[in-house]
């Protein structure tokens, strides 16, 4: 029996030694599990294997610890920012390249997220979400009307040093369709980009595919060994490129090389790509996708040129919504100046969703360095603020993708993500509410906030806010939010009026208000607003009427005054855009008027 004992020990040691010798940096056990073959035929259908066998084996041994964030911040606690748009890059890229931007390329929440706001420090913050309030009264410089504003500061009790994200089950769904071959600064469906690119003597512009590939590679550097990564590619079909497997068991350098070699081809089928990305996450054993222990997210990288069928419940929009209800959330990353923000803006209203527009691999990498963990960690859901006051009601909401859900007494936001802070200022950490005054009663406004945490527990916070006499701003945060909301309002009204004469087909009654008043209307309340969503894929040349050029010049001077009063150099980007918009050469075609009526 001694020989049996010796044999048994030999077998045990032979099995144990390789595992004991394996270190995180050791590639001896790491697998290059790339499966995509670029020679696969392009036609309708599904390519690749979507089985759970190999994935089940490689994931069972990996526990789900809380991974500590390596991010540094200047303040002790983090704040919150709403979901939806995380920038206005697509708007600025279109301006830079001489195109008329789409209406939804610039949003209130997207502009807010580019800035830090004084949110006011809560007296005590013992719960996850601790809202603060500030008030302001001002005379509108265009209309001379008295206006009342309330800002909601999005504060938290999360210590920056303690912030962690859970282990991430990440599936990247990457668009490799033919439209991704277009240069980053051209509209693919103009069919001019090939000739223009050949005629350019300067260094060729990168294609959308190159920018997407490089941005994805930059993103992979933020994954931890215990995170899981899967990749699905799609053109007119869906292809399993990489099974969902722990990063620790994957040869990530080989995967990055494969990604950089990808080339565009074929048509576009968003639904097939998303459906099979979702299938990868669902193939995990339920123990390894529990939302209470894991972050489950699909990152969808595309130039957003789908078919109209994606708007149906059976299409992409319906799938994203149903996935969110199962704790699987979605981030959209748009590539190229022709990125269709109108479509993605609708998707971004979904629970746990957000979207970014990529400028370049370099700028995207910098952003990921600062906020990747935040991007994939929704913490507050179903935020509802009820306003109780006989003197005031909600007139407009700025800074939330669900602003259209606001009523006279209720504001709703479906998701808050953690956000960076510095010196008691939070990045994107404010929602601005414009109030309508109906009486002279001076009683405080009662504000009741209800929200749900990740575990489904419901909370309620009750506070009061009071308006003072005269014109004032209670703090710099609300003053800056009002200035930036004016900026977006003016630009969105310009885009509504101008796009009516572009390739959008908008039929609407002739506006009654003169341009100077119309330009500051709350855009969602304009009758044309619902008709502005378009699936047109051709570009529109940047043109600015005489009327709007004058309005931009007036507002530019006002913006400069406020920028000085706030002593805030971060507003330079918006000021530079106003310089461009107020100085653009007038349109050559005087037959076409995009103001619909002129001032006398």
Q: At what angle do helices 572-583 and 89-96 cross, to 10 degrees?
A: 40
Counting every residue written for the chain, the total comes to 600
Query: Could you tell me if 399 and 481 are in contact, meaning their C-beta atoms sit under 8 angstroms apart?
Result: yes
Higher-pLDDT residue of 592, 138: 138
Domain-embedded: residue 528? no
Is 325's pLDDT higher than 70? yes
Cα separation, 154 vs 129, whole angstroms: 7
Cα separation, 515 vs 574, whole angstroms: 22
Cα separation, 402 vs 411, whole angstroms: 9
Is 174's pLDDT higher than 60? yes
Domain-embedded: residue 427? no
- Categorize the per-residue pLDDT at 203 as very low, low, confident or very high, splitting at 50, 70 and 90: low
Helix (H, G, I), strand (E, B) or coil at 78: strand
What tokens appear for 490 in the block?
């003016």
Domain-embedded: residue 558? no
- Categorize the per-residue pLDDT at 348 as very low, low, confident or very high, splitting at 50, 70 and 90: confident
Dihedral in degrees, nearest 10, Cα atoms 296, 302, 304, 306 = -80
pLDDT of residue 345: 76
Cα separation, 326 vs 57, whole angstroms: 24
Which percentage of the chain shows pLDDT scores above 90?
57
Helix (H, G, I), strand (E, B) or coil at 295: strand
Q: Residues with Cβ < 8 Å from 167, sequence gap 6 or more? A: 62, 64, 65, 67, 224, 226, 227, 228, 293, 294, 295
Instruction: Determine the structural domain holding residue 288 and report its residue range.
Output: 24-61+167-373
Q: Averaged over 414-429, what is the pLDDT? A: 93
What tokens appear for 271 in the block?
């639904």
Query: Could you tell me if 589 and 541 are in contact, meaning their C-beta atoms sit under 8 angstroms apart?
Result: no
Q: Averaged over 199-216, what is the pLDDT? A: 80
pLDDT of residue 28: 59
Is 192's pLDDT higher than 80? no
Higher-pLDDT residue of 344, 390: 390
Q: Residues with Cβ < 8 Å from 20, sequence gap 6 or more? A: none
Q: How far is CA 206 from CA 100, 255, 258, 336, in A?
A: 21, 21, 18, 10
Domain-embedded: residue 54? yes
pLDDT of residue 43: 54
Cα separation, 545 vs 519, whole angstroms: 13
What tokens appear for 552 in the block?
């931009």
Residue with tokens 């006398």: 600
Is 389's pLDDT higher than 80? yes
Cα separation, 58 vs 35, whole angstroms: 16
Q: Across all residues in the chain, what is the average pLDDT?
A: 83
Q: Residues with Cβ < 8 Å from 425, sequence gap 6 or more? A: 75, 116, 117, 118, 119, 477
Domain-embedded: residue 538? no
Domain-embedded: residue 484? no
- Expressed in angstroms, the distance from the first to the final Cα of the chain is 109
Higher-pLDDT residue of 593, 427: 427
Kindly report, residue by residue over 485-498, the tens digit of the pLDDT.
999 999 999 998 88
> pTM for this one?
0.86
**Residue 198 is part of a domain; what is its CATH number?**
3.40.50.410
φ and ψ at 203, to 5 degrees?
-60, 130
Q: Which of 528, 538, 531, 527 minimizes the C-alpha distance to 502?
A: 538
- Categorize the per-residue pLDDT at 70 as very low, low, confident or very high, splitting at 50, 70 and 90: very low
Kindly report, residue by residue over 431-455, the tens digit of the pLDDT.
999 999 988 878 899 999 999 998 8
pLDDT of residue 344: 73
Kindly report, residue by residue over 152-172, the tens digit of the pLDDT.
999 999 998 889 899 999 999
Q: Which of 306, 465, 315 minimizes the C-alpha distance to 389?
A: 465
Domain-embedded: residue 289? yes
Higher-pLDDT residue of 237, 75: 237
Q: How far is CA 291 from CA 84, 325, 332, 367, 455, in A?
A: 21, 11, 20, 25, 9
* HSE toward the beta carbon, residue 257, CA cutoff 13 A: 7
Q: Averaged over 507-528, what is the pLDDT? A: 77
Domain-embedded: residue 570? no
Which percentage of the chain shows pLDDT scores above 70?
80
Q: Count of domains in the chain? A: 1
Q: Averaged over 527-531, what is the pLDDT? A: 78
Name the DSSP letter for residue 330: E
- DSSP-assigned states of every residue in 98-153: TBPPPGGGS-HHHHHTTSEEE----S---SSEEEEEEEEEEE-TTT--EEEEEEEE
């Amino acid at each position: 029996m001694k020989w049996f004992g010796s044999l048994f020990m030999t077998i045990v040691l032979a099995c144990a030694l390789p595992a004991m010798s394996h270190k995180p940096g050791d590639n001896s056990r790491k697998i290059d599990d790339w499966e995509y073959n670029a020679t696969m035929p392009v036609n309708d259908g599904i390519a690749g294997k979507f089985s759970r066998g190999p994935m089940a084996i490689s994931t069972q041994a990996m526990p789900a610890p809380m991974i500590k964030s390596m991010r540094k911040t200047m303040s002790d606690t983090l704040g919150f920012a709403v979901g939806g748009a995380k920038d206005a890059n697509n708007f600025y890229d279109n301006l830079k390249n001489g195109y008329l931007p789409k209406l939804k390329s610039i949003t209130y929440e997207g502009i807010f997220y580019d800035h830090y706001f004084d949110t006011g420090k809560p007296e005590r913050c013992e719960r996850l979400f601790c809202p603060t309030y500030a008030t302001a009264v001002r005379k509108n410089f265009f209309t001379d009307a008295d206006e009342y504003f309330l800002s909601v500061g999005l504060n938290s009790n999360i210590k920056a040093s303690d912030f962690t994200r859970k282990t991430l089950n990440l599936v990247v769904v990457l668009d490799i369709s033919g439209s991704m071959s277009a240069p980053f600064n051209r509209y693919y469906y103009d069919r001019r980009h090939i000739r223009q690119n050949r005629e350019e003597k300067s260094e060729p512009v990168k294609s959308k595919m190159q920018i997407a590939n490089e941005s994805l590679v930059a993103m992979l550097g933020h994954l931890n060994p215990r995170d899981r990564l899967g990749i699905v590619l799609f053109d007119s079909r869906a292809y399993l490129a990489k099974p969902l497997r722990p990063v620790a068991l994957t040869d990530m350098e080989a995967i990055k090389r494969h990604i950089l070699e990808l080339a565009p081809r074929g048509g576009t089928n968003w639904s097939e790509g998303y459906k099979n990305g979702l299938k990868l996450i669902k193939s995990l054993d339920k123990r390894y996708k529990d939302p209470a222990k894991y972050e489950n997210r699909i990152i969808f990288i595309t130039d957003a040129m789908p078919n109209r069928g994606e708007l149906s419940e059976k299409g992409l929009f319906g799938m994203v919504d149903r996935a969110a209800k199962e704790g699987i959330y979605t981030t959209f990353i748009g590539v190229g100046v022709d990125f269709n923000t109108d479509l993605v803006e609708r998707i971004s209203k979904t629970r746990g969703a957000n979207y970014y527009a990529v400028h370049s691999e370099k700028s995207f990498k910098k952003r990921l360095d600062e906020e990747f963990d935040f991007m994939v960690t929704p913490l507050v859901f179903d935020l509802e603020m009820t306003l109780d006051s006989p003197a005031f009601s909600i007139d407009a909401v700025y800074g939330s993708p669900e602003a259209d859900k606001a009523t006279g007494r209720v504001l709703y936001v479906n998701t808050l993500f953690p956000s960076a802070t510095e010196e008691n200022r939070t990045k994107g950490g404010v929602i601005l509410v414009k109030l309508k005054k109906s009486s002279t009663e001076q009683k405080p406004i009662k504000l009741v906030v209800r929200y749900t945490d990740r575990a489904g527990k419901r909370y309620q916070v009750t506070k009061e806010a009071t308006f003072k006499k005269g014109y004032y701003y209670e703090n710099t945060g609300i003053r800056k939010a009002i200035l930036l909301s004016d900026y977006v309002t003016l630009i969105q009204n310009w885009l509504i009026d101008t796009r009516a004469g572009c390739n959008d087909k908008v039929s609407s009654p002739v506006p009654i208000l003169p341009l100077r008043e119309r330009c500051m209307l709350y855009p969602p309340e304009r009758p044309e607003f619902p008709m502005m969503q378009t699936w047109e894929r051709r570009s529109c040349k940047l043109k600015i009427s005489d009327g709007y050029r004058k309005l931009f010049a007036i507002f530019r001077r006002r913006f400069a005054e406020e920028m000085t009063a706030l002593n805030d150099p971060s507003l330079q980007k918006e000021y530079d855009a106003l310089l461009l918009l107020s100085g653009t050469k007038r349109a050559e075609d005087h037959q076409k008027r995009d103001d619909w009526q002129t001032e006398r």
